[in-house]
Amino acid sequence: MSDLNLILLRLQNQHLAEPQFTRPADMVKWLGAVQAQDYNGAKWAIGQRIISGTDKIIEKAFNNGDILRTHVMRPTWHFVAREDIRWMLDLTAARVQAIAATRHRQLELDDKVFSKCSDTLIRELEGGKQLARTQLIDTLKNAGIKTDEQRFVHIMMEMELCQLICSGGVEGKQLTYALLDERAPKIAAINREEALATIAGRYFIAHGPATLQDFAWWSGLTIADCKAGLEMVKPKLANKEGYWFAESGIEPIKSNKAYLLPNYDEYIVSYKDRSATILEKNINKADPRGTIFNHTVIVNGKIEGIWKRELKKSAAVINITVFKQLSKPAYAAINSAAKRYAKFLGLKEAVVKVQ
């Protein structure tokens, strides 16, 4: 499969090329999960994939609990739809816990400590309370539980994986935690086989064309589990040279279009092999760590630069660093992308500065 066909299909299937949904939760459900340790960036990731998406619309869905933020894969925070959070954690939590086990031993976090944390957090949060990180650190300290040396981060991740807590809403500029039972009431569980088929279908339909190795990277599941999931959804998919995807019958859009992607955007991070989107010589320019997760400028599906923002009273100043001189249509497309971003933030204009 040529790089051009691959990236055009990915842009289409991820709803970057042509948004289809108006509700943030529908978009998150379509993708399966949206990486979200950068909370504001993840809102923009959803916002540019839905029709007329704005920061306020995404945050309202988050505050209402239509989308929730939790540790569910690899391990890192992701947005997931409310109705998906339990079956996804049932499927993936053990893998994340296995990854964290060594660090837990180093931090002297065991079942006894976690049980005490669970009891303490239930008492503090029950009744619909939503509390910020600093408040819960104090709560645990007052209960005699140490929270230094990353212990708090790992305690809260374990509480999420055990389906005790999840994200609450935003209070001021503070993210909060809440009890999962009060944000996402329990629903009938699905069996492991159905869960594997569901997550495989979501991945390949929304992220394809992609390989089995891409799916294993994204989900954090074993290759055996990923093979089993893929096998169950193969009848719904097309295969070309090891790349699996859903054939929509819609011709991919081939025009100068640009996107200002946030950190950890699904277009970049959800594939183990990212060679189709960037030239080898540009990898360290995009991110000195070589991970290509920095704010990337996408033109016609390729990473052509990186961007940073400065927010003024009524304008978003977008500073662009390109890897090579681009065409006039490409620069025009970048300007259009910057305007979309300013509109998403509720600002009147965008000012683009290219280096």
Predicted local confidence at residue 145, as pLDDT: 98
92, two tokens: 């993936």
In a domain, 343, yes or no: yes
Least confident of 204-208, 215-219, 282-286: 282-286
In a domain, 300, yes or no: yes
In a domain, 97, yes or no: no
In a domain, 290, yes or no: yes
Provide CB contacts within 8 A for 355, sequence distance 6+: 319, 320, 321, 322
Asked if pLDDT for residue 282 goes beyond 80, the answer is no
In a domain, 333, yes or no: yes
The separation between the first and the last C-alpha atoms of the chain, rounded to the nearest angstrom, is: 34
Asked if pLDDT for residue 276 goes beyond 80, the answer is yes
- Interval 107-133 mean pLDDT: 98
Burial class (CB in 10 A: 0-12, 13-18, 19+), 40: middle
Asked if pLDDT for residue 21 goes beyond 80, the answer is yes
In a domain, 195, yes or no: no
Predicted local confidence at residue 310, as pLDDT: 96
In a domain, 337, yes or no: yes
Predicted local confidence at residue 3, as pLDDT: 84
What is the extent of the structural domain holding 292? Answer: 278-354
Predicted local confidence at residue 166, as pLDDT: 99
Buried b (16+ CB within 10 A) or exposed e, 212-234: bebbbbbbbbeeebbbbbbebbe
3-state secondary structure of 131: strand
Angstrom CA distances, 80 to 3, 30, 71, 202, stand at 29, 10, 10, 12
Q: What's this model's pTM, rounded to 2 decimal places?
A: 0.95
In a domain, 350, yes or no: yes
Asked if pLDDT for residue 339 goes beyond 70, the answer is yes
Q: How many domains does the chain have?
A: 1
- Interval 269-295 mean pLDDT: 79
